[in-house]
């Protein structure tokens, strides 16, 4: 076999305005170039304490069991579901987006039974529908998505859902992949039992070390399981020996990704989490104002500042727009998934990407691409965005 002729790595320099990853902050990139140490090195053990402290700050929690899972956000999702779901448990899951479907698949793979609460894609779950599911099925768990990446829907009034679950002796699992570090999220105040996220969205770090937090009720259920967790790698009764006081070997942590996560969390703490939430909303408001003034509309009824779904004219395919933006402007946005496939654009406004210059760039490029379509006024879109962002 001949030696592969592979040249130096030269990825294109994109502006990442899709559903994730977002633009990595220069300080995070710099942190990833620092010297590698072992995963049980005393210096790394000290760093682990710092990461956990920072994670608690951004989650707004005092939960002892707050850790980064070695893997992407889907690994954190699977860790939460696999540890909290025993065979035969009934879990209420959402049916209003792509990632609710992923939750359901994971529940079924570990032997749980799913009850789906449906809502149209683009709309949040109705609390009355969730209550009806509880009345009919007496579930053990309620899992739901705080910010649905496929639809741009923010689930409002999280405390109402957690209260409903607790009144019925059920635990809650919250998907905060697209909200953690960018949209208001208060784990303790909202009485969330378990929440997970990812590093590459509102934190603007590379994927690979994903935040997870578990409250006392959740840990009590895990520690009292009658059957072992069906994943060795994600078994939190084992992982807690590494991330707990013992710091006992479990697996080799993704050290460089933890460096990156630490620096991204440090940036969030320096900005102040409330100020960071406000920045995301302010910059995304400029994007929304420009989209609407241009002649387009959002596809969701409950706005998620970090992920904006834009309904395209009926005669335009989403892939045509995403390809032209990537090829002609080095701007990444995404098309629709599932029920919204082909119909929408998904434009992120997350972390280091949530900047005035990025919003104006994506609106200008989008105006160029759609300029020949009926009802599109690119100049009005840019003017409205500038006015909103100047406020």
pLDDT reading at 241 higher than 90: no
Higher pLDDT, 207 or 391: 207
pLDDT at residue number 334:
98
Name the architecture of domain 273-389.
Alpha-Beta Complex (3.90)
Structure tokens at 30: 């710099």
Q: Which helix (H) or strand (E) covers residue 331, if one does?
A: strand 331-332
**What letter does residue 37 receive in the DSSP assignment?**
-
Least confident segment among 15-19, 21-25, 242-246: 242-246
| pLDDT score at 371 | 85
**19-41 pLDDT per residue, tens:** 999 999 999 999 999 999 999 99
Per-domain boundaries in the chain: 26-270, 273-389
Q: Tell me the C-alpha distance between 80 and 115, whole Å.
A: 18
The pLDDT-based confidence of 367 (bands split at 50, 70, 90) is very high
User: In the prediction, which pLDDT does 39 show?
Assistant: 93
Closest CA to 335 of 324, 325, 321: 321
b/e 106-140 (16+ beta carbons within 10 angstroms → b): bbeebebebbebebebbebbebeebbebbeeeebb
Q: How far apart are CA 287 and CA 375, in angstroms?
A: 18
The encoded tokens of residue 66 equal 């707050």
The token duo for 196 is 């997970």
Whether 245 shows a pLDDT value over 90: the answer reads no
Same fold, 26-270 and 273-389: no
Tokens 């409950």 identify what position?
302
What is the rounded CA–CA span in Å between residue 107 and residue 113?
7
pLDDT at residue 240, rounded to an integer: 86
pLDDT at residue 350 greater than cutoff 90: yes
Q: What pLDDT, on the 0 to 100 scale, is given for residue 144?
A: 98
So what's the pLDDT on residue 322? 98
Burial label for 361, CB within 10 Å (0-12, 13-18, 19+), is middle
Question: For residue 243, how many other CB atoms are within 10 A of its CB?
Answer: 23
Phi (first) and psi of residue 79, to 5 degrees: -60, -45
Q: Tokens 């993704």 map to which residue?
A: 254
* pLDDT tens for each residue of 114-169: 999 999 999 999 999 999 999 999 999 999 999 999 999 999 999 999 999 999 99
pLDDT of 158 reads: 98
Backbone angles phi, psi at 50, to 5 degrees: -65, -45
CB of 188 closer than 8 Å to CB of 60: yes
Residue in the block written with tokens 């899709």: 18
- Output the six-digit token pair for 274: 């409330």
The mean predicted confidence, pLDDT, of the chain is 96
pLDDT at 327: 97
pLDDT of 253 > 80? The answer is: yes
* Averaged pLDDT, 240-267: 94
Instruction: Please spell the DSSP secondary structure of 110-171, one letter per residue.
Output: TT-EEEEE---TTSPPPHHHHHHHHHHH--SEEEEESEETTTTEE---HHHHHHHHHHTT-E
Residue 75, pLDDT score: 98
Residue 372 has pLDDT above 80, yes or no: no
**SS3 of residue 225 by DSSP:** coil
Taking only the tens place, the pLDDT of each residue in 283-336 is: 999 999 999 999 999 999 999 999 999 999 988 999 999 999 999 999 999 999
CA separation, residue 101 to residues 108, 117, 250 (Å): 11, 11, 31
Q: What's the whole-number mean pLDDT along residues 255-280?
A: 98
375: left (phi over 0), alpha (psi -120 to 50) or beta: left
Lowest mean pLDDT among 204-218, 220-234, 254-268, 366-380: 366-380
What is the reported pLDDT for 223?
Answer: 95
Distance CA 241, CA 252 (A): 13
User: What pLDDT is recorded for position 23?
Assistant: 97
Q: Enumerate residues 6+ apart whose C-beta is below 8 A from 173.
A: 80, 81, 84, 103, 141, 142, 143, 144, 193, 194, 195, 196
Instruction: Provide the CATH topology of domain 26-270.
Output: 3.40.640
Q: What is the average per-residue pLDDT within 87-104?
A: 97
At 192, the pLDDT band (50, 70, 90 cuts) reads very high
């Amino acid at each position: 076999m001949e030696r592969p002729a592979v040249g130096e790595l030269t990825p294109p320099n994109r502006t990442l305005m899709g559903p994730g990853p977002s633009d990595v902050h220069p300080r995070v990139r710099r942190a990833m170039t620092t010297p590698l140490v072992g995963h049980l090195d005393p210096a790394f053990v000290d760093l682990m304490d710092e990461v956990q402290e920072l994670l608690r700050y951004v989650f707004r929690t005092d939960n002892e069991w707050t850790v980064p899972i070695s893997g992407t956000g889907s690994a954190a999702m699977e860790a939460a579901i696999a540890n909290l779901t025993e065979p035969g448990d009934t879990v209420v899951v959402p049916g209003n987006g792509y990632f609710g479907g992923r939750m359901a698949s994971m529940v079924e793979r570990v032997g749980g039974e799913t009850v789906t609460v449906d809502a149209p894609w683009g709309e949040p779950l109705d609390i009355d529908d969730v209550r009806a599911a509880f009345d009919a099925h007496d579930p053990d768990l309620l899992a739901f998505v705080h910010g649905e990446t496929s639809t741009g829907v923010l689930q409002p009034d999280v405390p109402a859902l957690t209260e409903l679950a607790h009144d019925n002796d059920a635990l809650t699992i919250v998907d905060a992949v697209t909200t953690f570090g960018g949209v208001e999220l208060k784990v303790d105040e909202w009485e969330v039992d378990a929440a997970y996220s990812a590093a590459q969205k509102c934190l603007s770090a590379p994927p690979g070390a994903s935040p997870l937090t578990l409250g006392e009720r959740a840990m009590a259920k895990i520690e009292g399981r009658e059957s072992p967790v069906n994943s060795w790698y994600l078994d939190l009764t084992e992982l807690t020996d590494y991330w707990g006081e013992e710091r006992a070997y479990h697996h080799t942590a993704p050290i460089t990704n933890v460096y990156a996560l630490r620096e991204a969390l440090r940036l969030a703490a320096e900005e102040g989490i409330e100020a960071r939430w406000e920045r995301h909303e302010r910059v995304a408001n400029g994007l929304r104002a420009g989209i609407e003034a241009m002649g387009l509309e959002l596809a969701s009824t409950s706005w998620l500042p970090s992920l904006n779904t834009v309904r395209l004219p009926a005669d335009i395919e989403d892939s045509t727009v995403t390809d032209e933006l990537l090829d002609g402007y080095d701007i990444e946005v995404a098309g629709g998934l599932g029920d919204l496939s082909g119909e929408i654009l998904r434009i992120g406004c997350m972390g280091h990407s949530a900047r005035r210059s990025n919003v104006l760039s994506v609106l200008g490029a989008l105006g160029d691409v759609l300029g020949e379509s009926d009802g599109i006024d690119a100049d009005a879109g840019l003017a409205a965005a500038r006015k909103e962002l100047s406020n």
